[in-house]
Copies of this chain bind each other. A is one copy, B any other.
């Protein structure tokens, strides 16, 4: 079971200040958020690079969630770190410092025991690394999802598009989709993702929810109106992780289940924003998750 979902992405230290508090060198990273979110539904395995300074307590966090960390590779150098602050409007993060040096000269080797993973989540990272990971999965996975971010869209848009074309589902946030396809119109951007042979295009809109686009139509899940948002860091990654974690557990990955997965992604992401790092996610029970899922059901009913 543990090898059914493979999560690739960054792991490291997040130092974040919001109007509601701060955290110094807390546990974060796209792979970390995605794997923890997925672990509410499945036992994922991770691939990613960590530095010599990586906090062993972070590994404990993952292992307590029964995440397989044996694919993490400890390299010389410092772990990925990110320092940022959010203003009054917590929708936008302002990056103060980032140290991505751990990703230089990194070849993301997937241990052989994970080569047959049926589900693969390629979290925010360089498209070269994402492609390299996906290329090692044989036979091709049943479903692969790739995220991306502005840094790579600016630097190598053609490679990002190639990555989207190679994965089954292209997923990104609204600003990224607008930037990658040079249009303010999300539906046009989504059609461009679909034109890259994506089975589904998923556009995350932060506090405004997320939209799933298919050739035939769309499905929209509104944002959960949280009364207390303490730190939105990792919500997009958590959405992706919970989305694929849920979906990997289903009998099929048809649109009906994909829609439900969108809601589960939103459920976990909404909890994630309620506190720093994994504080809120780690205390969640099945009942908390189910209750909020039912709330989503009731608040779109008409």
Report A's interface with B, CB cutoff 8 A.
Answer: 88-90, 178, 184-188, 190-191, 205, 207-209, 211, 213, 217-223, 225-229, 256, 259-260, 262-263, 295, 297-302
Contacts and interface: CB of A to CB of B under 8 A. Distances in A.
Secondary structure at the A interface, as helix, strand, loop or mixed, is: mixed
Contacts of A302: 219, 221, 256, 259-260, 262-263, 297
Given A90-B184, A227-B188, A300 B220 contact: yes
A6 to B, nearest CB: 26
A227 B194 CA distance: 14
A213 B301 CA distance: 14
Contacts of A211: 222, 225
Q: How many copies of this chain sit in the oligomeric assembly? A: 2
Contacts of A208: 205, 208-209
A91 to B, nearest CB: 8
Contact of A185 (B209, B213, B227, B299): B227
A87 to B, nearest CB: 8
B225 A299 contact: no
Contacts of A89: 178, 184
Given A205-B208, A220-B222, A222-B209, A227 B301 contact: no
Contact of A187 (B186, B218, B225): B225
A209 B225 CA distance: 13
A178 B300 CA distance: 23
Most buried by B among A211, A222, A227, A228: A222
A299 B187 contact: no
Contacts of A90: 184
A290 to B, nearest CB: 14
Given A187-B225, A187-B226, A221-B302, 4 more contacts: A220-B222, A259-B301, A259-B302, A262-B302
A187 B90 CA distance: 14
A256 B302 CA distance: 7
Contacts of A220: 209, 222-223, 225, 299-300
A283 to B, nearest CB: 21
Contacts of A229: 185
A262 B301 CA distance: 11
Nearest to A262: B302
A186 B224 CA distance: 11
Contacts of A221: 222, 300, 302
